[in-house]
Amino acid sequence: MKILIIHAYFLDENDFGGSRMNELVKVLKNRGHDITVISSGINYSTGKSYSYVKKMFNNRKIYDSVDLIRVKISDSYNKSFLGRLKAYTEFTYKTTGKILSFKKQDVVITTSPPLFVGTPGLYAKRFKKSKWIFEVRDLWPEFAETTGVIKNKKILKYSYNYERKMYYKSDGVVVLTPAFKRDIISRYPKLENKIKVFTNAADFDSVYFDKEARERIRKKYNLKNKKVFIYTGAHGLANGLWQIIEVAKRIQDKKVVFMLVGDGMKKQELIDEAKRYDLKNILFIPPVSKKDIKDYISAADYGISVLIPNKSFEKIYPNKVFDYMSCERPILNIIKGQTAELIKKSKCGVTAEPGDIEDIINKIYDLLEKDEKENLGENGYNYVKKNFDRKIIMNNYVDYIESI
């Protein structure tokens, strides 16, 4: 089959960040499918353009035979919400124009956000007679509304109508958590049989505990006898890393160190705040490649999962949680809902109340105590190995694509 994937955040090989669609592409390729990916020219974790993106459309091969087309868009992506909206809009209309020049693709997969990436999928279905799968990684525009990013009622009304149209017009809807499915069905009951759940999962081939790397990284950053709490991922508005800065200011245990790995719109503000208070217990690490992230997680003693306090975020599974669990790291979770349920069921950590700094500090002490008595890291590893193995989930996803 000829399969086209439209994903604004698709990674280059060894990029830092969530690699769900990269793994899907590998499985599709190994099944013998002809794959083309259209993505933006911006590296979403840094907000900067890829160095080779010079023209409107930039073609290259990845994984030997997969065609990757990067679309040049505004470099204002990581500067403000309006800049991001401009970049999203550019990506949508340029991608829509591009697919109209293609020969028919058997299946087109568009993955949101950005929400309006559904448009090229709709055009592929209408004008190229392709089957179209609309994947929902985050519930937009709900997330934009509940975080206060979009307040204009007319824009919200248009966005919700657009979302509804994409669900009904597509041939299939894929969501990342059971809570997403429940949310959509509660609003559109007729979609129940159309929605499939293929969650984020643990990539045991790439992310695993590495003892040698642990010793090397801890020596590099002088972490001997420290209890290291690591966060990996975006440093944006929604990630709520101000909570970690506040904890670092107040916590009394001098052995506790926070390591924040990644980049994003709010990173410089976080660095400036740490400098203002002369915090010695927090390290800011630039983004590292996918193949190296296991080294830093292995060097840590605990993983941090955190977002701003928000009802919408109670419906997600952050991919970093599965990375921590596959490296056998106990978890300090600061997200309610689905993630908290996962931590509880797997018995791999503790959950603190989002936004409550004193509770987060108390839960850190609880975690340090529990970890001495219970095999929290081992519990997490065993649970994801049984229930969230990416190879199994991605192969099930491909089975669905082939059947649509």
CATH number of 2-201+389-403: 3.40.50.2000
- How far, in Å, CA of 133 to CA of 170, rounded? 6
Mean pLDDT rounded to a whole number for the chain = 93
Instruction: Give strand pairing partners of 131.
Output: 107
Helix (H) or strand (E) holding 356: none
Q: 76 pLDDT exceeds 70?
A: no
CA-wise closest residue to 19 among 104, 84, 86, 111: 111
pLDDT digits (tens, 9 = 90+) for 351-370: 999 999 999 999 999 999 98
- How far, in Å, CA of 323 to CA of 201, rounded? 8
Q: 391 pLDDT exceeds 80?
A: yes
Domain boundaries, the chain: 2-201+389-403, 211-387
Mean pLDDT value of segment 66-92: 80
Tokens coding 366: 């609880």
Instruction: Give pLDDT, residue 95.
Output: 96
Tokens coding 183: 């949310």
pLDDT digits (tens, 9 = 90+) for 151-205: 889 989 999 999 999 999 999 999 999 999 999 999 999 999 999 999 999 999 9
0.85 surpassed by pTM: yes
Mean pLDDT value of segment 326-339: 97
Tokens coding 400: 């669905």
Exposure string (b/e) for 120-130, b if CB count within 10 Å is 16 or more? Answer: bbbbbbeebeb
pLDDT digits (tens, 9 = 90+) for 252-265: 899 999 999 999 88
Please calculate the CA angle 38-41-42 and round it to the nearest 5 degrees.
125
**Residue 183, number of CB atoms within 10 A of its CB:** 17
Instruction: Give pLDDT, residue 340.
Output: 97
Torsion of CA 105, 106, 112, 115, to 10 degrees: 70
CA-wise closest residue to 172 among 224, 125, 220: 125
- How far, in Å, CA of 396 to CA of 47, rounded? 32
- How far, in Å, CA of 9 to CA of 42, rounded? 8
- The CATH classification of domain 211-387, taken from the options 3.40.50.2000, 3.40.50.20, 3.40.50.720, 2.60.40.10: 3.40.50.2000
Question: Residue 276: pLDDT band by 50, 70, 90 thresholds?
Answer: very high
- Distance spanning both ends of the chain, measured CA to CA: 12
